[in-house]
Amino acid sequence: MKAFVEFYRVIKPGGMIYIVVPDKIKTLDRNRPTTSVDHMLEEFSNDVEDSNPNHIHGFTLGID
């Protein structure tokens, strides 16, 4: 979510942002549940950092 805020801040009027997203079935954490948009918005609203220990723990549990 922070990335989208930054994109909006720096994009020129009429500009375009290209985002490349990996195919989840080809990632190391493919077996991990998908994070919901509601969850991302809640954490963004509460200013939860990406380096939060819960994120790191949850990611390592889901690595194949």
Q: What is the pLDDT of residues 12-63, one digit of tens each?
A: 999 999 999 889 888 887 888 888 999 889 989 998 876 667 766 666 766 6
Which pLDDT belongs to residue 58?
Answer: 66
Are 54 and 64 in contact by the 8 Å Cβ rule? The answer is no
User: Which spans in 1-64 are helix H?
Assistant: 2-10, 37-45, 53-61
Which pLDDT belongs to residue 63?
Answer: 64
